[in-house]
Structure 1
Amino acid sequence: MSRITHIEITHHQLVLDPPFPASWDTRPRTHFPATVLRVHDDEGRTGIGSGDAMYGFSDYAHLFIGTDPLDLERHHAVLMNIEFHAGRPWPMDVALWDLAGKVRNEPVWRMLGGHTDRLRAYVSSGVHRPVEDMVRVAQQVVQAGFPALKVRFGRPRFEDDLAVVQAIHEAVGDRLELMVDCNQGWRMPWDTAQPWTLGHALVVARQLEQLGVYWMEEPLHRGDYEGLRALRKQVGIRVAGGEMTREPYEFRELLERDCLDVFQPDAVCSGGITGLAKVARAVAAQGRIFTPHTWGNGIGLMANLQLTAGTVGAPFIEWPLDAPEWSAERRDYMLTHPLRPDGQGWFHLPQTPGLGIELDEAALARTLSSAATFH
């Protein structure tokens, strides 16, 4: 039986020129930070994870040294406790699954049950562009073989947001499923705008429903259970959310109260692969859709691909892309090969052990801002 010997955490910053004006952030982003966690065992294997900055984890890293890397449920229980006392530690869970796959010599998606070996991607845009530019983006998405596109609301006027969806619908018709992200579930620390009311969300939902939109995402605050339930009762469009929901009991509330049609937690932000495998199966058992949020880097995207393919599958899974500000090369700068689906928008899960990713050590060295090792 192998044992964990040490854990490395490195922080990196990629300069973004041009900046990335994310639709959910009032401040254009000039740098893209990445945290990379490596967990090593005494037989020379390394598991890789990424996600949050691991604030406060240094106080608790010793709890994993000398333990069996395959004791995933024990490790997850410790990580849940760490999250309560410190920052979100889920890169560690992802790295432990990568390491466990290398110990067992099988890919993570097979360890989780091997539900499917491929997932269809939808393109997830992130920039507020003029109507004609958004139409051009949608046409390019169709030409590239993708089945679906997500656009972002949040322009100064609702009419401007709606004009984008109407124009895309007229231009591409039923050749493309459209999702709309309302971005009302959470805010950046400096953004004090209040989330939508149920009344406003109903107005938006009825307009989107007429345009055949596949789902509306985060139309209300993530904790507005009664509002979400009431919204679902009054409209036919699917309601999506939960990308930053954290606790298992919160997912149970969302399920039991019939708040969502589509659940979107991210393995590197909420519960890790271990916790979300349980959520995915509970969601599917209720006839709902599980398809994670994946806005981060390629390590997190791969973790969510493995999680979803291994457990329950999904009609679509998010692929963040909005070049030139948000390209695959920028997003995955820490990997030797940026993650890309095939010409029909399919991600084929790797057959290699663990997550099946390889770090670009030269790129990580160029972008390094700090490093720490825990024995």
Structure 2
Amino acid sequence: MRITDVRVVSKGLRIGPVLVEVETDEGITGVGSTSASVSVISALIEDESDGLRSLLIGTDPTDVNMAWRRMFASGDRGRSGEGGVAVNAMGAIDMALWDIAGKAAGLPIHKLRGGAVQDRIMVYASATAFDRGHMERTGEWRHNPTEVLVKEALENKSLGFKAMKFGWGNYFSESDYDDIEAVRDAIGPDMKLMLDLGPFAYLDGTWTVKDAIHVAERLAEYDIYFLEEALHPYDVDGFEELTLQSPIRIATGESLTTVQDFQPFIDRRALDIVQPDAQQMGLTQFARVAERAEEAGILCIPHGPWSAFLVAAHMQVLCTVTNCPMIEYPAPAVERGSGREGLVEAMHEKVIETPMVVKDGYLELPDGPGLGLGNFVHEAIDELTGRFGGDVQQ
């Protein structure tokens, strides 16, 4: 079996995951995705002179490790192995190649990896505290009112989620702590609650490690399960100090794109939870990070709820290790009222043949070959292009 084409099938979509398809001469097709600019990913993959496609045409798609080395070691995209959007493009292809390998063998990816040790994994509802519709209209980022946050949290609980996270930013006035307390009181002590600070914190030049430590100490009052991206993604020294002093778990990793990026965090135990993202780095590297974290006794709770491809890749790998207590999954209200409303749902339910199954707050292990999703539904992608093909605020 040989690769005959590698292409981006979502060029008309200006937002959302970039969808990548790998075709073979035996009619087996692999699907993958990444999170980056569609124009940049298209150029990296499809450029006629030195795109990634030119490296792979005519090669065996089931030789996934060789394909990764061929792409990663090529010096045409920087100095080889520096990460960033080049690895994002490689990661989407890598995901699709694993999908092909499984389909060719008639086995799910987890079987190719030696088999599952978990037959289901809890999902947590990934939400945002921000009023995205207001931001799109005015450019101002502000939190939803308390009653909206509480309502969304209770909605997640009613749907069977046993954990949830708010994208929160570094909004920690006393009224913000009151909001956290209101949510905690509403959902009760048994539902896990997490907060994601993200670039609001680490791109704020006045935000320091001491600020993050102070916030972590306050958040312990509300039994926050983990605090995500409290510092700049590459600040190993800062994360080591924060993790050492924080009474709650510290998590990071979504912006890292290579195993080498993660290694110092793992070696120095500079976090409690590692958060690799298969759309950022591909399934091959994602698996290596999860396994190294397992060996070090560090939890792996991956980043990213944005597509079925991403969640399926996470499930196929993390069911084979013991250090993953839950996987990120979209909350129903995560894009409600924004220009992106309906996009994430479509990326989970419509653009693939076989959606994943969540039952009673747990993701069921797919038994279909490869990722377990089947192939792209191109008509659904075309429909999304009609809805989301223009400029929409991301």
CA distance in 2 between counterparts of 1:198 and 1:215 reads 16
| Map of 1:99 onto structure 2 | 100
Q: Is it true that 1:41 corresponds to 2:24 in the alignment?
A: yes
- Answer 1 or 2: which has greater strand percent: 1
Instruction: Please say if 1:9 is aligned against 2:26.
Output: no
CA contact (8 A) 2:12 2:385 kept: yes
**How far apart are 1:154 and its partner, in Å?**
2.2
Report the CA distance shift for 1:169/1:33 in structure 2 as closer, same or farther (over 3 A). Answer: closer
Contact 2:356 2:364 in 1 (8 A): no
- Residue 27 of structure 1: aligned partner: none
- For 1:363, the aligned partner's letter is A
> 2: CA distance between counterparts of 1:307 and 1:193?
35
The 5 A counterparts of 1:188-203 are 193-194=204-205, 196-203=207-214
8 A contact 1:7–1:40 mirrored in 2: yes
Change (3 A) 1:33 1:216: closer
**Matched residue type, 2:311:** L
In structure 2, relative to structure 1, the CA distance for the partners of 1:336 and 1:160 (3 Å cut) is farther
Tell me, what secondary structure is at the counterpart of 1:171?
Answer: helix
Residue ranges of structure 1 left out of the alignment (5+ in a row): 15-30, 371-375
Range with greater deviation from structure 2 (167-176 or 254-263):
167-176
Q: 1:161 to 1:79 in 2, by over 3 A?
A: farther
Corresponding residue number in structure 2 for 1:207: 218
Partner of residue 252, structure 1: 263
> Deviation digits for residues 139-169 of structure 1, max 9, x if unmatched?
1222222110101212755334322211111
Structure 2 match to 1:303: 313
1:115 corresponding residue in structure 2:
117
1:207-260 Cα deviation digits (max 9, x unpaired): 111211111111111111111111111122110001111222221100112111
Residue aligned with 1:68, SS: coil
In structure 2, relative to structure 1, the CA distance for the partners of 1:276 and 1:195 (3 Å cut) is: farther
CA distance, structure 2, for counterparts of residue 313 and residue 256 of structure 1? 16
Whether the aligned pair in 2 keeps the contact of 1:334 and 1:361 (CA below 8 Å) is yes
1:25 is matched with none
TM-score, normalised by the number of residues in structure 1: 0.85
> Cα 1:214–1:105, aligned 2, differ >3 Å: closer, same or farther?
same
Q: What is the letter of the counterpart of residue 100 of structure 1?
A: A
Q: Given that residues 21 and 29 in structure 2 are in contact (C-alpha distance below 8 angstroms), is that contact kept between their aligned partners in structure 1?
A: yes
Instruction: Select the structure with the greater relative contact order (CA < 8 A; seq sep ≥ 6).
Output: 1
Letter in 2 for 1:177: K
What SS class does the counterpart of residue 115 from structure 1 fall into?
coil
Report the more deviating stretch, 178-187 or 293-302: 178-187
Q: Which residue of structure 2 lines up, in the alignment, with residue 62 of structure 1?
A: 54
- The letter for the 2-side match of 1:56 is L
Write the mapping of 1:216-227 to structure 2, written as runs, cut at 5 A. 216-227=227-238
Structure with greater proportional helix content: 2
Find the residue that maps to 1:125 and give its secondary structure. strand
1:341 to 358, 372, 386: 358
Contact 2:276/2:286, CA 8 A, preserved across alignment = yes
Name whichever of 300-309 and 251-260 sits farther off: 300-309
The reply to whether residue 278 of structure 1 matches residue 295 of structure 2 is no
User: Is residue 167 of structure 2 the alignment partner of residue 152 of structure 1?
Assistant: yes
Pick from 219, 232, 238: which aligns with 2:243?
232
Q: Distance in 2 between matches of 1:36 and 1:46?
A: 13
Partner residue in 2 for 1:291: 301
Confirm whether residue 74 of structure 1 aligns to residue 66 of structure 2: yes
Number of residue pairs matched?
347
Question: Could you report, residue by residue, the CA deviation over 1:32-66 in whole angstroms, capped at 9, with x for unpaired residues?
Answer: 33422111122111011111432422223111111
1:24: which partner in 2?
none
Flag structure 2 segments of 5+ consecutive residues without an equivalent: 80-84, 131-143, 390-394
AA of the residue aligned to 1:280:
A
With structure 2 as the length reference, what TM-score do the two structures score?
0.81
Instruction: Kindly state the Cα deviation for residue 101 of structure 1 after the two structures are TM-superposed.
Output: 0.3
CA distance in 1, matches of 2:188, 2:279: 35
**Is residue 261 of structure 2 the alignment partner of residue 261 of structure 1?**
no
> What CA deviation, in whole Å up to 9, does each residue of 1:270-317 have, x standing for no partner?
2x1111111111101111111211143222222222122234451111
- Inter-CA distance 195–176: structure 2 relative to 1 (3 Å threshold): farther
Tell me, what secondary structure is at the counterpart of 2:169?
A: coil
State how far apart, in whole Å, the 1-side matches of 2:173 and 2:78 are.
Answer: 38
Return closer, same or farther for 1:118/1:306 CA change in 2, 3 Å cut-off: same
Task: Give 1:314's match in structure 2, choosing from 324, 342, 360.
Answer: 324
Structure 1 stretch 156-165 or stretch 302-311: which is displaced more?
156-165
